[in-house]
Amino acid sequence: MRIVVALGGNALLQRGQRADAGAQRANVAVAVRALAALAADHEVVVTHGNGPQVGLLALQGEAYREEVEPYPLDVLGAESEGMIGYLLDQELVNALGGRQVATLLTQVIVDGDDPAFAHPTKFIGPVYLRSTAEILAAERGWRVAPDGPHWRRVVASPEPRSIVELPTIRLLVEAGVLVVCVGGGGIPVVVERDGHLRGVEAVIDKDRAAALLARGIGADALLLLTDVAAVERDHGTAEAAPIAAATPAELLGLGLPAGSMGPKVEAAAWFVQETGGRAAIGSLADASAVLAGERGTTVVATVPAAAGG
């Protein structure tokens, strides 16, 4: 089976955890144990989030504001894609023995007129108290928004339209290479009138980009792994209950917000609707069981009556 596995940014750097290289290496090692188990039996392509990391790079750039113009988000996205890709690549090579692994910097085309540029929703960087976030927003021209009990910076997250390096990814996959690509949703670019590519100030949602990648390479399944066990019905209430299986329409009908499981649900639903394949959302620790439909939330075109949960 050909599977695209999307690792959430919080699976690589946990909430509130110091963004040290050592902590990220340790988290990546845990992630790779789950990936190696999947790669033993399946054809795996890996993508990953970068929200905490790209936010950290932006903060580091602020320290040189007087000497150096802050780097734009497309460049920071490329830096984070290279950094996380390197850590994943190295751990995968160590875990998989002779298996060929390649990490590919990936550009993803967006529409320069996407309304998302006027309404930023994508969380990046660390969490703050509201008072601190509002001070930083005033000082640095940020937009900030609540993320659970905390506040974080938000940036534009336009819809991914196409993947520039998709033919190269296909060639590598067909050659039996385990590819790490479209990291952080890919580097956001637009196509100019002359056909040239230009980076833009945005961060693409990793789950939506992963769904586009999965369709583009003809994947049988899309696996969205995070630090949450499953999608819940009535989330945040006393009646909250995990959903074992659902159709795209059923999940989309939950109306989950952008700051929670909304993007994952939308990405999984879109992939299933577009391809007739299968998607699943669940915990990184349960990766193999999520793929098997034993844990997490499975998204399929038709759910047997006994499996709705």
Catalytic residues: 9-10, 122, 206, 264
C-beta atoms surrounding 179 within 10 Å: 28
Report which of 16, 94, 6 is spatially closest to residue 49, judged by C-alpha positions.
Answer: 6
Q: How far apart are CA 287 and CA 274, in angstroms?
A: 23
Whole-angstrom Cα distance, residue 206 to residue 8? 8
31-264-170 Cα angle (round to 5): 65
Encoded tokens for 13: 């750097």
- From residue 116, alpha-carbon distances to 119, 147, 261, 264 in Å are 5, 18, 18, 17
